[in-house]
A and B are shown apart, each in its own frame.
Chain A
Amino acid sequence: MATIKRTPLYEEHLKAEAKVIDFGGWEMPVQYAGILEEHRTVRNRAGLFDVSHMGEIEVRGVQALDLVNQLITNDAAKLADNQILYSPMCNDQGGIVDDLLVYRYTAEHFLLVVNASNTDKDYAWMLRHSDAYDAQLTDISAGTAQLALQGPLAQDILQTLTPTDLSDIKYYWFAQGKVAGVDCLISRTGYTGEDGFELYFAPQFAVQLWQDILVAGKPVGVEPIGLGARDTLRFEACLPLYGNELGENISPLEAGLGMFVQLGKADFVGKHALEEQKADGINRKIVGFAMLDRGIPRSHYPVAVNGQEIGFVTSGSYSPSLDKNIGLGLVDTKFATVGQEIEVIVRGKGLKAKIVPKPFYRRQR
């Protein structure tokens, strides 16, 4: 039996009376005060997430850029130092091995941030494709803790703890600096649809940094946020989740991630399959829908039109921000148009829903 893993903040979560669950082999807080309340805290103020379970893989060497570009579908050659990009990483069939963030320190030094439950698989996959390159891959996940501070007040709060001018860090850029005296990679990224930062640092400082940020944010109502609200937040913003919208049998083109697939760049894993798919046209596509009948769509529920199955729900939930029941689904392209009425099969009953534009939620800038 695989041993269950804990982040350096496990005891802090228990102290905060979190409900802890097994999440892909990690004992993680799913909620503290309650998912709805936590969701609203992030949308209206700011919330602090322990995301130390995420995987971090470092790439170093004179051909680091070439190796990264061979692995991902987006083009890392577009990155300047201290810039970040999002990309799928595909298999030869064009299915998605994982989706990741690519941080460029220099052309010879990158950091790849991957999904926790995929870390081992990803690292093995990367190693397997690295032989021809003068570059070293290192899984530094165990030596890396990560916190995310997300919400409209995130910058104001974090600025009180760091000499780095946060307004200089644009969306999808990063800086290296001290936060509460701790050396951090400060990244303006997130998975909530709000402005915010993600901090990477050494695990021995996790408890101190966690406490310092909560104390600094207390006057404006910052609270710890669990994985439950992390999911409803990312879902409203239509940020895909690996295992739901993304998987080994779903291509980035089907997942609506075409803008992160650069077919113009030199060879990369999956390029041929994706070129073919693009030329032939995709047969299915991720769409957003809103329920018309009463009922909550859940992942794997079938989707039908006129009694004929056309796909399935990938994510579905009550949306706290919209006060509606909404979902994302992978459906036959023929029916994937806004305004199309569909049926979601909930406990054997077809409930009416309608395809709507994505994302469901967009923050006010």
Chain B
Amino acid sequence: MMTPTNLKYTKEHEWVKIDGNKVTIGITDHAQHALGDVVFVELPNVGDTLEEGKPFGVVESVKAVSDVYAPVSGKVITINEALLDTPETVNQAPYEAGWMVEVELSDLTQLNDLIDAAAYEAFLKEEE
């Protein structure tokens, strides 16, 4: 299982890449692996407001429907439209081409709630 150290994580298995007051969000390698073959992705619209801890998207595999929770609050500035036609990218490259949304943060202090790669890996071990 890959856990890039340049990203932050949530216990809901999302990853966050921080770039100033903007973040990119996706689901972790662990999450895509647990889901299995992803066959459908539902994303918010550009301009939508995300609220920390609330679902903002859906990832569906053949067998499972899974909400994706907003790790932070903010406004959606870009969505990865390519995922709508090629949802399998979430399996193939969860941390790169499989990103889901880019968000402009409304509250920078929320970043403090995220955990780093080591803490996320420790959490996965605990969950097993």
- Which residue of the partner chain B has the closest CB to A228? B63
A318 CB contacts on chain B under 8 angstroms = 39-40, 60, 62
Given contacts A31-B36, A296-B40, contact A347 B58 (CB under 8 A): yes
Tell me, in angstroms, the Cα distance from A231 to B65 when the chains sit together.
16
- Is B82 part of the binding interface, using a Cβ–Cβ cutoff of 8 Å? no
Task: Give residues 31-78 of B contacting A (CB, 8 Å).
Answer: 36-37, 39-40, 42, 58, 60-63, 65
Q: How large is the interface on B (under 10, 10 to 19, 20 to 34, 35 or more residues)?
A: 10 to 19
- Which residue of the partner chain B has the closest CB to A323? B39
The main secondary structure of chain B at its interface with chain A is strand
Quick one: which of A318, A320, A325 has the most chain B CB within 10 A? Answer: A318
- Is A128 part of the binding interface, using a Cβ–Cβ cutoff of 8 Å? no
**B65:A317 contact, CB within 8 angstroms:** no
Interface flags, A15-35, vs B, CB<8A=1, else 0: 000010000000000110011
- Is A298 part of the binding interface, using a Cβ–Cβ cutoff of 8 Å? yes
Tell me, in angstroms, the Cα distance from A295 to B40 when the chains sit together.
7
One of B37, B63, B84 near A294 (C-beta < 8 A): B84
- Is A36 part of the binding interface, using a Cβ–Cβ cutoff of 8 Å? yes
One of B42, B58, B62, B65 near A36 (C-beta < 8 A): B62
Tell me, in angstroms, the Cα distance from A331 to B6 when the chains sit together.
51
**B62:A232 contact, CB within 8 angstroms:** yes
- In the complex, what's the smallest C-beta–C-beta distance from A309 to chain B, in angstroms? 21
B60 CB contacts on chain A under 8 angstroms = 296, 318
Tell me, in angstroms, the Cα distance from A36 to B62 when the chains sit together.
8
Task: Give residues 76-125 of B contacting A (CB, 8 Å).
Answer: 84
**A36:B37 contact, CB within 8 angstroms:** yes
Tell me, in angstroms, the Cα distance from A318 to B37 when the chains sit together.
11
B36 CB contacts on chain A under 8 angstroms = 19, 31, 34-35, 228
Tell me, in angstroms, the Cα distance from A347 to B42 when the chains sit together.
11
Given contacts A232-B62, A318-B62, A347-B58, contact A34 B37 (CB under 8 A): yes
- Which residue of the partner chain A has the closest CB to B88? A36
B58 CB contacts on chain A under 8 angstroms = 347
Given contacts A36-B37, A325-B40, contact A298 B65 (CB under 8 A): yes
- In the complex, what's the smallest C-beta–C-beta distance from A344 to chain B, in angstroms? 13
**A35:B62 contact, CB within 8 angstroms:** yes
- Which residue of the partner chain B has the closest CB to A30? B63
- Which residue of the partner chain A has the closest CB to B39? A318
Tell me, in angstroms, the Cα distance from A228 to B39 when the chains sit together.
14
Tell me, in angstroms, the Cα distance from A324 to B73 when the chains sit together.
34
Tell me, in angstroms, the Cα distance from A325 to B62 when the chains sit together.
10
Interface flags, A287-301, vs B, CB<8A=1, else 0: 000000011101000
**A35:B37 contact, CB within 8 angstroms:** yes
Quick one: which of B36, B65, B84 has the most chain A CB within 10 A? Answer: B36
Given contacts A294-B84, A347-B58, contact A35 B63 (CB under 8 A): yes
- Which residue of the partner chain A has the closest CB to B55? A347
Task: Give residues 208-234 of A contacting B (CB, 8 Å).
Answer: 228, 231-232
A295 CB contacts on chain B under 8 angstroms = 40, 42
B61 CB contacts on chain A under 8 angstroms = 35
5 inter-chain pairs at a CB distance below 8 angstroms, sorted by A residue, are: A19-B36, A295-B42, A296-B60, A317-B62, A318-B40
Known A296-B65, A318-B39, A320-B62; 18 more pairs at CB < 8 Å: A19-B36, A31-B36, A34-B37, A35-B36, A35-B62, A36-B37, A36-B39, A36-B62, A228-B36, A231-B63, A296-B39, A298-B65, A317-B62, A318-B40, A318-B60, A318-B62, A325-B40, A347-B58
Closest CB pairs A-B (n = 8): A318-B39, A35-B62, A36-B37, A296-B40, A296-B60, A34-B37, A228-B63, A35-B37
